[in-house]
A and B are shown apart, each in its own frame.
Chain A
């Protein structure tokens, strides 16, 4: 009985610990892949402080960027340093609100921002769309840390039609 117990415990241990053991014995290929993933610390040893990367400049050209898909929130093509968006103020709205666009010639926030979650239109920006930076972000003038392989629907469809024509 005692022997049986020991054997079952050993068996259980093997099952429980097997993922741990396998993670200790990663192959060389896996290691190479792990090391290519960009992190903020890169290969810095745990006991040293990494010298921070220089902070890239915010793109401030005021030129619209194409959207990658129709529902993408447009990115902000200008700096927004110290623009306050809080319960008292929304600096973005001093140009992008419906009332201000004539003066500022900035694009108006889209109609979806006036809808509540039941799809009813409100007179003012809906509270759930109030915090601009939840969806809209500035762009930095720098190389991306990770390559982006996103292909938009338009190019995919184009490719598909080209392929079917070939066959």
Chain B
């Protein structure tokens, strides 16, 4: 075992004796494209709704709840899928979120929330994670679609336009402060601010 490792290390540190520099550079470039492309494709596959609801925890709980809301079906047919709200769009944040998601793989393997009852027990903690994330990034995932600068207050109801033109415009509040539970049912809200 040790010998194999030593041979491997020696091969890596020695200059190439057989292949031309050109072959190595071009070969490396092509391999890079293939590997990077493959990585990105795999990453994008994990960023689809079909992938999310391939786990029954997601399909039977949160996805079922989403179906009744305006983010699933509405007059104009614009839909929000799971990653639209739950995965950051810019690359570094996305990778950071994907690394955090390894915890979720652990949960799926060991069945942390594999029944509705277990899910409800953990619901508050899970919801709190998402609220904290959205609070920290000023509801970035909401704002990927809902752009404040293009909101027409005259089209909103009086109450909505009042709140949006004061608390939201001044930056005192962010979307998630008021719009909790718009896509899924709420946990027990005892002790949550504003409830």
Residue of A nearest to B156 (CB): A60
Quick one: given A62-B157, A62-B159, A94-B194, are A81 and B70 in contact (CB under 8 Å)?
A: yes
Instruction: Give the Cβ gap from B189 to chain A, nearest Cβ, in Å.
Output: 5
Q: Mark A51-63, 1 if CB is under 8 A from B, else 0.
A: 0000000001110
Stretch at the interface among B23-31, B33-41, B136-144, B180-188: B180-188
- Contact indicator A89/B189 (Cβ below 8 Å): yes
Q: Mark B167-191, 1 if CB is under 8 A from A, else 0.
A: 0000000000000011001111100
* Nearest 4 CB-CB pairings of A with B: A88-B188, A89-B189, A89-B186, A60-B157
- Contact indicator B181/A84 (Cβ below 8 Å): yes
A selection of 8 A-B contacts at a CB cut-off of 8 Å is A62-B159, A79-B157, A82-B70, A82-B181, A82-B182, A84-B185, A88-B186, A89-B189
Please, how many angstroms separate the alpha-carbon atoms of A62 and B159 in the complex? 8
- Contact indicator B159/A88 (Cβ below 8 Å): no
Which A residues are in CB contact (< 8 Å) with B157?
60-62, 78-79
Q: Mark B7-22, 1 if CB is under 8 A from A, else 0.
A: 0000000000000000
Which A residues are in CB contact (< 8 Å) with B182?
82
Please, how many angstroms separate the alpha-carbon atoms of A81 and B159 in the complex? 15
CB proximity to B under 8 Å, residues A72-97: 78-79, 81-82, 84, 88-89, 91, 93-94
- Size class of B's contact patch? 10 to 19
| A60, A62, A88, A94: residue with the most chain B Cβ atoms closer than 10 Å | A88
CB proximity to A under 8 Å, residues B51-93: 68-70
Please, how many angstroms separate the alpha-carbon atoms of A123 and B181 in the complex? 27
| B68, B159, B182, B188: residue with the most chain A Cβ atoms closer than 10 Å | B159
Which B residues are in CB contact (< 8 Å) with A81?
70
Residue of B nearest to A62 (CB): B158
Instruction: Give the Cβ gap from A102 to chain B, nearest Cβ, in Å.
Output: 13
| B70, B182, B188, B195: residue with the most chain A Cβ atoms closer than 10 Å | B195
Which B residues are in CB contact (< 8 Å) with A60?
157
Which B residues are in CB contact (< 8 Å) with A89?
181, 186, 188-189, 195
